[in-house]
Amino acid sequence: MENFRQREMAECGNPFPQSRPTLWERVMPGLMVAALLLPLIFSAPEKKSFLHLGLPRVHSGDEPHYLVMLNSLLSDHDLDLRNNYEAVHMGGEDAGRYFKGLSLDNHTTWYINGKLTRWFEVYAVDEKKWGHDAQGHPVPVLKAGVVSPDPGRPEYSWHPPGVALLLAPLLYPFRGTTYVEPLAIFCSTLAMIAAMFLFRALVLHFDQRHGVANLVTAVAFLGTPAWHYGRTFFNEPYLLLFAAGAYSLVLRGRGTLLAGTMIGLGLLMKPFFILVAVPLGLMMLAEKKTRALALFALPQAACILVILWMNYWMFGSPWRVPQPFQIGSFFKGASGLLFDARHGCLNSAPALLVALVAWPAFMRAHRREALMLGGGVLLYFLFISMFHTWHGGYCYGPRYLVPVLPLLFVALVSLPASRAWREAWARWLLGAVCVLSVAVNFVAANPYWNSWDKNPLTAPWK
């Protein structure tokens, strides 16, 4: 019976029969979960010390502004952030504990006579130019020669509200408390853990040996910036969950409706996330799976309609977007995403080189799946390369690539079939690069705020 099952699996294209996992293979996923949870013990650096333990708090960049959106939904049941930023200046925790009472600039935008106007184009960003009220609270000041906008005009964020819409129902019981902030970050970690298990299921589709799946998953999630971003309050943990989930479900022939729903939720966070769906949709179209394609596309179409409706509701037209796409230098973006000292993939995830070594063998063994995975990552990479802010702003590593970067590591299942694996010295070298990659991201994630806008691997040499 056992020989028959092995022959049957080999004929289906999987030469590795599923075996009972050993104790170590059962324990290792739990250790990876513990590793992803570890950064939560480090709070934001409220004091100038290397380690600051406590409830997780947001640090900088766009994090506090996503938190403002979430608190606006929880407390005001709207997305008008004007009063929420004023509450921050008055000492409220709408943007997190660290920013209460500070002169935090508004990440808001509005249209005046059909023209997009952003807050920093009207008000001074430099806190030294701000005024103060009678109680000493900071008050933003208009730039010289700028006419004040209608004081009653709503201010909506230039960030898509998807993550706030997703978390508001979950965190509603904690509205108005200091626990919204750490719980929002904890949800990011849970999303990253869920992404890890969906990715592991995808790896098991190609190699049913649990030890191999564990090692590949460990390199993909602990050897890349995914470890760091599981501690942040950004969109990226959720987008990685949706990308890994969609590919895992579709390539394993399961749940196309759920996969489409995941892509749709991602669109509410980053509209260009639709690029992840293109290879999967084209595959269904080429294979004439019309029913599966319809189920896959339906929730995405519904979410696109939601985006258009929100644009109309907030800005007066479905075609008025909160943050238009700004084209930059493709060469600068592409080279920066690969080699930049602070935001390059190869500096933040050296193990990517090992994955690329395995890709030719993976392509030979699994051409269909390789085209889907590689095509999705390539489309995403090309688009981000054209973006003016390809680096993702003030953050760690190539933030915008975090949702798709781990997908390249699925190819590690074919590493033993690559030419480089034939030499003992090459195997040791490839293993050392993977260990180095995990070490770099351990430092970047613990504590996570210590590696913003710098890289543990390159910072000592700058």
What pLDDT, in 10s, does the model give residues 215-273?
999 999 999 999 999 999 999 999 999 999 999 999 998 889 999 999 999 999 999 99
| This prediction's pTM | 0.94
3-class state of residue 231 by DSSP:
coil
111-115, 189-193, 298-302, 327-331: the lowest-pLDDT one: 111-115
Same domain assignment for residues 132 and 260: no
141-150, 160-169, 277-286: the lowest-pLDDT one: 141-150
3-class state of residue 321 by DSSP:
coil
Same domain assignment for residues 197 and 325: yes
Which run of H or of E encompasses 131? strand 131-132
The confidence score (pLDDT) of residue 63 equals 97
CA proximity to 79, closest of 309, 302, 270 = 309
The confidence score (pLDDT) of residue 4 equals 35
Structure tokens of 183?
Answer: 């719980």
Q: Give dist(CA 189, CA 167) in Å, integer.
A: 13
| Residue 462 banded pLDDT, cuts 50, 70, 90 | low
Same domain assignment for residues 194 and 341: yes
Same domain assignment for residues 246 and 209: yes
pLDDT tens sequence across 412-454: 999 999 999 999 999 999 999 999 999 999 999 999 998 999 9
| Residue 5 banded pLDDT, cuts 50, 70, 90 | very low
Name the domain count of the chain: 2
The confidence score (pLDDT) of residue 17 equals 53
Domain that holds residue 357: 24-35+181-455
Count of Cβ atoms closer than 10 Å to residue 46 Cβ: 11
Q: Give dist(CA 125, CA 127) in Å, integer.
A: 6
Same domain assignment for residues 147 and 243: no
Q: Give dist(CA 58, CA 234) in Å, integer.
A: 10
Does 11 reside within a domain? no
Asked if pLDDT for residue 460 goes beyond 80, the answer is no
Same domain assignment for residues 118 and 226: no
The confidence score (pLDDT) of residue 196 equals 98
Same domain assignment for residues 428 and 300: yes
394-425 CB burial, b ≥16 within 10 A, e <16: ebbbbbbbbbbbbbbbbbbbbbeebeebeeee
The confidence score (pLDDT) of residue 177 equals 95
Same domain assignment for residues 340 and 380: yes
Asked if pLDDT for residue 11 goes beyond 50, the answer is no
